[in-house]
Chain A
Amino acid sequence: MGEKLPNWTSVPSAVANELTQESKHAVSLVDGLAQDATAALFDTYGVTVEQDGPVAAKGLQATPLVSIIGFSSNALSGSLILALPQAVAERTLPVAGASLADWSGELANQLLGRLKNQLLKYQVVINMSLPVVVCGDALKLLATARQITRYYSFSSELGKVFIRLDMEMDSTLMLVPKNDEARGCIDEGELLLF
């Protein structure tokens, strides 16, 4: 699969003007958590990604590997889409010869896992679904009916990585960090023996 030229699909931006101040703050926080989680995840697997483009970008470049994973909770639910060029998937593979499609799904799983673990620090617990991977040529993402849509674009030496978060957020959701005593999330790479 060669890297295809981008196919832009115009989609409506997030309905930002209808959000409460608390929701806008929460969205801003989620933006930061998602961006940090993405950079940390790919760094773990040897690819440096840097965010580029505005967070409210209206299009999503088509890439050959698109993984979708859902999440739900009382206050926050939606889905995360991870779109990867083949070269990034290949470079991050922990085992030579493994399936790129399977690995793309696992990357989406680990990315949402990182986001989930960060949200725990703000007393938000999301339940994760299983990833679904779509492999294709000139894939296009259509407009979403979700309340909030956020786009994140990252550059790397191997091509662009795209994340899209589609969310429904309770208007009363306030992301307040836990105090240190209440923090208990286990970090990535950590091993506990009982």
Chain B
Amino acid sequence: MSKRVLIVDDSATIRQQVRMALTQAGFDVIEAADGEDGVAKIRSDPGISAVICDVNMPKKNGLELIEEIKAGGANSHVPIVMLTTEGQPALVQRAKQAGAKGWIVKPFKANLLVAAMQKLTA
């Protein structure tokens, strides 16, 4: 059975780009367009094996998403990797302290993203 990855990003193009990279590697991909929808999908789908999440998004940003998910509740264990234009060390540290498993600065390399997902969902 394919491992399911949730991509949370307000850019449809980025979501499509991630979908294309991961489905070619055998992953099942679902999408959320903002942080609120991302939290809702994580909480409601126990089949999600990993999350790739933007930082700057409407309604709820990625750092708020990870802090809320990792605080407890359904699927709080799911590994989350941030995919963002941000390269600021303080933000990376905040995500790491919240429980993120990784940080990628856009534009991403598909092979690195796939390798990261394979490692985190193994």
Contacts and interface: CB of A to CB of B under 8 A. Distances in A.
A113 B103 contact: no
Interface string B53-92: 0001110000000000000000000000100111111101
Contacts of A189: 105, 107-109
A193 B116 contact: yes
Nearest to B120: A193
Interface of A: 44-45, 93-95, 98-99, 102-103, 105-106, 109-110, 112-114, 116-117, 120, 125, 128-130, 184-194
Contacts of A193: 81, 101-102, 116, 119-120
A190 B17 contact: no
Interface residues of B, number: 36
Contacts of B14: 106
5 contacts: A98-B13, A102-B13, A113-B85, A185-B87, A192-B102
B30 interface: no
Contact of A186 (B89, B100, B107, B113): B89
A185 B88 contact: yes
Contact of A106 (B13, B88, B102): B13
B16 interface: yes
A128 B88 contact: no
B121 interface: no
Nearest to A94: B17
B13 A103 contact: yes
A109 B107 contact: no
B87 A120 contact: yes
B86 A116 contact: yes
B17 A116 contact: no
B11 A190 contact: no
Given A95-B17, A98-B12, A130-B10, A190 B104 contact: yes
Contacts of B106: 110, 113, 188
Nearest to B93: A184
A112 B119 contact: no
